[in-house]
């Protein structure tokens, strides 16, 4: 009967560790992308608020 060499038992552990590392990396990248999207939405909202304020300022200055 043949027994498994220590190296052959280590290969599945190594593959398991690599898969877990890849999963963690994908989760981290997804979280980064969500943060980037949130920042972009805030920046867009700020630009829209600035434009609305500018329009309001122009409309009020015409009334005076």
* Domain range annotation of the chain: 33-64
Per-residue pLDDT band for 4 (boundaries 50, 70, 90) equals low
Q: Using one digit for the tens of pLDDT, what is the confidence trace for 6-20?
A: 566 778 899 999 999
**What gap in Å lies between CA 37 and CA 7, rounded to an integer?**
45
Per the listing, tokens 């920046």 go with 43
Return the pLDDT at 9: 74
> Of 46, 26, 27, which Cα lies nearest the Cα of 38?
46
Return the pLDDT at 64: 75
Q: Using one digit for the tens of pLDDT, what is the confidence trace for 21-59?
A: 999 999 999 999 999 999 999 999 999 999 999 999 999
């Amino acid at each position: 009967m043949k027994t498994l060499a220590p190296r052959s038992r280590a290969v599945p552990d190594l593959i398991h560790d690599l898969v877990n590392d890849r999963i963690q990396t994908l989760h981290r990248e997804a979280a980064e992308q969500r943060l980037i999207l949130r920042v972009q939405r805030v920046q867009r909202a700020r630009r829209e608020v600035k434009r609305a304020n500018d329009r309001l300022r122009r409309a009020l200055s015409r009334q005076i």
